[in-house]
Amino acid sequence: MSKHQSLIEGVKVGDVKSLSRSISLVENSSEGWMDIMKGLGGNQDVPVIGFTGPPGAGKSTLINEWIKQVTNQGKKVGIVCIDPTSPFNYGSLLADRIRMVDHFTEEKVFIRSLATRGSLGGLSAKTLEVTDIMKAFGFDQIIIETVGVGQSEVEIAGLADTTVLVLVPEAGDEIQAIKSGIMEIGDVFVVNKADRAGADNFVKNLRNVLMPKPGSDKHPSIVKTSAAKGEGIEELVSAVEEHQQVSKNDKKEHLLVEKAFHLIREQRMADVSREDLREKIKEAQGRGDLNLYLFIEQLTN
């Protein structure tokens, strides 16, 4: 049995070491990583829940409490934390062991940090592939926490079955500005730190600006939580489960199209190296004739 086939079999039978190794090979585009993806396939019925929102909204604390809730129900959970990238070694700047230390050694929980490595939209370039590996492992649900970059975090809507948008009462005066960006992607809205002043008024204003999703007459759910106190988590889990039951068939085709588009784009960009680009641009700059648009046209033809 080849090394990659051994990893594939290990993932399918729930071996954590095989899971970790497979994710590392795929994340780094190491030799044979595509063989792993084709061999695993993935269980498409595993729900993927994306947590997104502005920095400081309390996403990590909220996910901590979510994990407690669902693991108490006997469920196995895979967590993907998308972190900013170090400009020096291209690794993640925030560590899952620090942010979710309470759950790192739990048998029912697997946590992995992925660096964005220059990818926009709040996700890592390999989030889709890593999520599919986790699906093949047999988790009951997969949680993705985006990097928290504000209005550009729209990519999660093309990956997650349910997108949870986490906000705080202090954003009350910014609802209209936020609405033009990430507000449209939320399936379930969370007003976290709801024990703070102005929370009820913020929820009221939020209800006034939220509209039903296309093809639906139902407004998105709004749940008040105080993650630091463990309040409102049961209601949040119920709201997400309700959304998944209602939208399961409606969103499936959209998600598959978005995932296929992402994979095709990645394949076409596979032979583009930043280091090669840097050398060629440096050479063109040395000649004093760099026109970036002509440069790209010549490079791609």
* Predicted pLDDT at 91: 45
* Predicted pLDDT at 110: 95
Of 221, 237, 167, 224, nearest in space to 194 by CA: 224
| Domains, the chain, ordered by start | 1-40 (no CATH), 42-251 (3.40.50.300)
Residues 175-210: b if buried by 16+ CB within 10 A, e if exposed: beebeeebbebbbbbbbbbbeeeebeebbebbeeeb
CA 236 from centre of chain: 18
DSSP for residue 196: S
Q: Which structure tokens are listed for 105?
A: 């050694």
* Predicted pLDDT at 49: 95
Q: What CA–CA distances, in Å, run from 296 to 12, 144, 272, 281?
A: 42, 34, 12, 10
- The pTM (predicted TM-score) of the whole model is 0.82
* Predicted pLDDT at 55: 79
> Order of strands, edge to edge, in the sheet holding 48-52?
109-115, 77-83, 141-145, 48-52, 162-167, 188-191, 221-224
Q: Which structure tokens are listed for 226?
A: 């105080």
| pLDDT per 10-residue tile (average), the chain, 301 residues | 88 95 91 90 83 86 93 94 58 47 75 69 71 93 80 68 90 55 81 92 87 75 95 96 80 76 78 83 86 84 75
Query: From CA 146, how far away is CA 248, in angstroms rounded?
Result: 22
